[in-house]
């Protein structure tokens, strides 16, 4: 909540605490921006008038635009003691979800906040599912057709290894079908109903590798403006295929409680592990070397 009057902030804190909500308080636009950039919130309740301009609402409207720029999905409910229809319309036009005039009615204020919090959570969940679906649509099962003796031996090996729970390393020159073999293995596995997620490690800079694999939380680094699922979590109960595995720096490769090999990898900047279940790990590289095995 953001308001430049301490008594208003205290009254709102007590009201919301009594309804089971945890709150953070900001006495100025700058303080509110600082809070939003550092933490995640279900909603913002903010005044439109501050010390610099106590009647027009212009300072609050500018603040609203800034909040929307930082997190477009964050529900914002605005309030002011100098409310008017014109100001309410302008606030809604700039992205506010609702408008409350001071002095407020507790029941209406709580109903408004509950509605916006529930809607905001639903929209965030929808966005997460949409991101997951976009990634998973590329992971369709593969089909292998083989006639030569050498390839029939490969097929036999795939049929033996596929149903197991073993991690698999595939090596071979570029263009020999390592990705296809990984898809076939996934189709033969007990996780075939789960997602098949591919990561081309050769195309990722080292600076973004951890975020890509393990995800990140909002504020974990510059431009991390929202939570993002990592590929380990996207492959939940399915298969994760790491192509060109030798491009991964060795210090990142070994499993630790928060990273590869852990059943619930911890996102970058996060304090707790993610929600991933068990996923099977396949990897491939065009180089046949001890480094790939490591």
Q: Are residues 88 and 220 in the same domain?
A: no
CA dist., res. 207 & res. 211, Å (int): 8
Q: Mind listing the pLDDT tens digit for each residue in 20-47?
A: 999 999 999 999 999 998 888 999 999 9
pLDDT at residue 192 above 50? yes
Does a structural domain hold residue 221?
Answer: yes
| Residue 217 exposed, middle or buried by CB count within 10 Å (0-12, 13-18, 19+) | buried
Question: Domain end: 91, 107, 129, which one?
Answer: 129
Distance of alpha carbon 120 from the chain centroid: 15
Q: Are residues 85 and 148 in the same domain?
A: no
Q: What are the counts of helices (DSSP H) followed by strands (DSSP E) for the chain?
A: 10, 7
Residues of the domain holding 227: 140-293
Domain holding 209: CATH number?
Answer: 3.40.50.300
Helix H or strand E encompassing 135:
helix 106-136
Question: Domain end: 106, 129, 152, which one?
Answer: 129
- State how many domains the chain has: 2
pLDDT at 274: 55
Q: Mind listing the pLDDT tens digit for each residue in 103-157?
A: 899 999 999 999 999 988 888 777 777 666 665 555 445 567 778 888 888 888 8
Q: Are residues 115 and 24 in the same domain?
A: yes
Q: Mind listing the pLDDT tens digit for each residue in 253-275?
A: 434 433 444 445 677 776 655 55
Nearest to residue 118, comparing CAs of 100, 99, 98, 134? 98
Q: Are residues 150 and 218 in the same domain?
A: yes
């Amino acid at each position: 909540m953001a308001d430049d009057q301490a008594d208003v902030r205290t009254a709102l804190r007590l009201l919301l605490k009594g309804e089971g909500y945890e709150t953070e308080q900001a006495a100025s636009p700058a303080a509110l921006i600082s809070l939003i950039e550092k933490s995640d919130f279900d909603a913002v309740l903010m005044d439109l008038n501050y010390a610099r301009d106590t009647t027009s609402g212009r300072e609050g409207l500018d603040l609203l635009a800034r909040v929307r720029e930082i997190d477009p999905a964050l529900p914002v409910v605005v309030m002011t003691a100098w409310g008017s229809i014109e100001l309410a319309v302008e606030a809604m036009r700039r992205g506010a979800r609702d408008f409350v005039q001071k002095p407020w009615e507790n029941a209406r204020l709580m109903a408004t906040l509950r509605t916006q919090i529930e809607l905001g959570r639903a929209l965030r969940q929808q966005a997460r599912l949409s991101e997951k679906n976009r990634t998973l649509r590329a992971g369709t099962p593969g089909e292998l057709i083989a006639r030569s003796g050498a390839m029939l031996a490969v097929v036999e090996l795939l049929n033996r290894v596929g149903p197991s729970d073993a991690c698999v390393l595939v090596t071979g020159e570029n263009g020999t079908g390592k990705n296809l073999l990984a898809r076939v293995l996934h189709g033969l596995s007990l996780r075939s109903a789960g997602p098949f997620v591919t990561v081309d490690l050769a195309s990722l800079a080292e600076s973004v590798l951890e975020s890509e694999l393990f995800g990140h939380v909002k504020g974990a680094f510059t431009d991390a403006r929202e939570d993002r699922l990592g590929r380990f979590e996207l492959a939940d109960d399915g298969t994760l295929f790491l192509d060109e595995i030798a491009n991964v720096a060795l210090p990142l490769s070994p499993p630790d409680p928060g990273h590869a090999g852990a059943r619930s990898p911890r996102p970058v900047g996060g304090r707790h592990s993610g929600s991933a279940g068990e996923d099977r790990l396949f990897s491939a590289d065009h180089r046949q070397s001890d480094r790939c095995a490591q």
